[in-house]
């Protein structure tokens, strides 16, 4: 499941960012951090962790952009969503993407599940 989420979120690119409704794929962590420094809201890393989580958990972008930390936090967020939605995978994936169940999140769920079916 985590691989499917990373494929959908970043194409498995470790230095990916989503800022102002646009995706970026940087050659280095340094480039990524320089770009997001100019913005209050963004998604970063291989699992595209939303800046809301960083603020809520008092984590820095420098910590979360590290691939291992990004995957651990993304895993924790997905597990939290699974718990909140009684292990309903489609709802949990929507939650991962949007923070709740939404039409956009449901489309996202279908895309992730399509990646999963390729394994």
| pTM exceeds cut of 0.75 | yes
CB atoms within 10 A of CB 87: 10
Sheet holding 43-44, edge to edge: 22-25, 16-19, 43-44, 49-50
- Host domain of residue 66: 2-117
Closest by Cα among 74, 68, 38 to 54: 74
Residue 22 Ramachandran class (φ > 0 left, ψ -120 to 50 alpha, else beta): beta
Q: What is the CATH number of the domain that holds 78?
A: 1.10.530.10
Dihedral sign (CA 33, 35, 41, 43): negative
Count of domains for the chain: 1
pLDDT digits (tens, 9 = 90+) for 50-102: 999 999 999 999 999 999 999 999 999 999 999 999 999 999 999 999 989 99
pLDDT digits (tens, 9 = 90+) for 8-29: 999 999 999 999 999 999 999 9
């Amino acid at each position: 499941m985590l691989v499917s989420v990373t494929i959908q979120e970043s194409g498995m690119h470790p230095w990916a960012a989503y800022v102002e409704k646009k995706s970026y794929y940087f050659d280095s962590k340094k480039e990524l951090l320089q770009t997001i420094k100019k913005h209050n809201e963004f998604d970063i890393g291989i699992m595209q962790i939303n800046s809301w989580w960083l603020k809520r958990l008092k984590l820095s972008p420098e910590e979360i952009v590290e691939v291992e930390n990004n995957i651990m936090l993304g895993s924790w967020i997905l597990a939290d969503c699974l718990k909140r939605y009684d292990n309903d995978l489609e709802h949990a994936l929507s939650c991962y993407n949007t923070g709740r169940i939404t039409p956009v999140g449901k489309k996202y769920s279908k895309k992730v599940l399509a990646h999963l079916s390729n394994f």
